[in-house]
Structure 1
Amino acid sequence: MESTISPSSSRSVSPSSSSSPNSPLVVSPCAACKILRRRCAEKCVLAPYFPPNDPIKFTTAHRVFGASNIIKFLQELPESQRADAVSSMVYEANARLRDPVYGCAGAICQLQKQVNELQAQLAKAQAEVVNMQCQQANLMALICMEMDQSPQASPPQQYNLDNNFTNIPMSFVDDNNNFGSAWEPLWT
């Protein structure tokens, strides 16, 4: 079933058993023609997309779509789109073999469900961040109000909100490094 062609062919070629440099090259048929047990013509439409070293690719697509449908489909397409079409057919065939009922649609639905769950988790996390920021702002406002109302022996200090409360006088913190007993937690 092996044929002899010139070295300018796009299919897989291997040197023949002869050691002469002018001897013809032996071409291995594409995976599709091997599986279909037919002669691989020089202009075989399947050869560029189903190389002889990857028979599983054609077997998978052949099981789901059939060889004649694959050939018809590829012949109707321009050559620039054929490689993408073969990739799509092989992907769909693999999905259909894994899930005969839903195929790719089942995988798409599952991925969409994951996206929705992750979006819900993200929205919850963003809400928690906003809640924490509001609590921090309320706490700082209460601290500033308390400091303005208490009499101080020393001149007023500048409070830097970005300094993580380092300028708060120690009279507002009890022995356990907690804010005074009048302070209730703002979060639940």
Structure 2
Amino acid sequence: MESSDTTATTVSSLSPQSLSPNSSTSPPPSQVVLSPCAACKILRRRCAEKCVLAPYFPPTDPIKFTTAHRVFGASNIIKFLQELPESRRADAVSSMVYEANARLRDPVYGSAGSIFQLQNQVNELQAQLAKAQAQLVTMQSQQANLVAFICMEMAQSPPPPPPSPLSINLDNFNMNSPYNLFPDETNPGSLWDPLWT
């Protein structure tokens, strides 16, 4: 019994700093020192353990907080995040950063100006699409009319009879052609003359 009491006393008297880094026990999470979040670093204040801004403005991305801070202010961002449930805070931060970027580009309209421009582009593209579809319908109807006209013309006029392969038009046949297979009747040896030269 005495040995177990002394062991418990020894373990309880040890502080987390006196434990070696190779020991299996680790210090409690409250004693882990992390770098301050980007918001606290920019605001030059101590980053608390339960900082509302820390999960959404990491120290590796300070521009994100700088942009939102310029437009909304740190107190408004903190107040807005505290009023929201944790499941919706990440979306709220991304929306604030997007709106802040839009406000820096267009101080008057912000993201509404971008939305208006995109809606105008959609309307123009829809008008172009409707025009192209109307042209396509017109061309298809013209093609159908042309095919119907050709079919009607072919039905009204009977096709000419095909030429017979045995009928040869001798009127156009040149008897003096070097390719003439019929010898000249006036000069019977003319067919064979080139062979004897």
- Which whole-Å CA distance do the structure 1 matches of 2:100 and 2:159 have between them? 79
TM-score, normalised via structure 1 length: 0.69
Percentage identity across paired residues of the two chains: 83
Match of 2:96 among 89, 92, 99: 89
Higher RCO structure (Cα 8 Å, ≥6 apart) = 1
Amino acid at match of 1:61: A
Match of 2:43 among 36, 57, 69: 36
Q: Which runs of 5+ in 2 are unaligned?
A: 1-19, 162-197
Say whether 1:115 aligns with 2:141.
no
Q: Which runs of 5+ in 1 are unaligned?
A: 1-18, 155-188
Aligned residue for 1:127, secondary structure, equals helix
Match of 2:71 among 64, 80, 83: 64
Partner residue, 2:149: 142
Show structure 1 runs of 4+ deviating over 4 A: 21-25
Provide Cα deviations, 1:139-187, integer angstroms capped at 9, x if missing partner.
0100010000001246xxxxxxxxxxxxxxxxxxxxxxxxxxxxxxxxx
Amino acid at match of 1:142: F
Give the number of the structure whose residues are more often helix, by fraction: 2
Displacement of 1:26: 3.1
TM-score, normalised via structure 2 length: 0.66
Partner residue, 2:85: 78
Provide Cα deviations, 1:103-149, integer angstroms capped at 9, x if missing partner.
01110110001001100110011001101100010001000100000
RMSD: 1.8
Amino acid at match of 2:64: K
What is the aligned residue count?
137
- Which whole-Å CA distance do the structure 2 matches of 1:132 and 1:83 have between them? 53
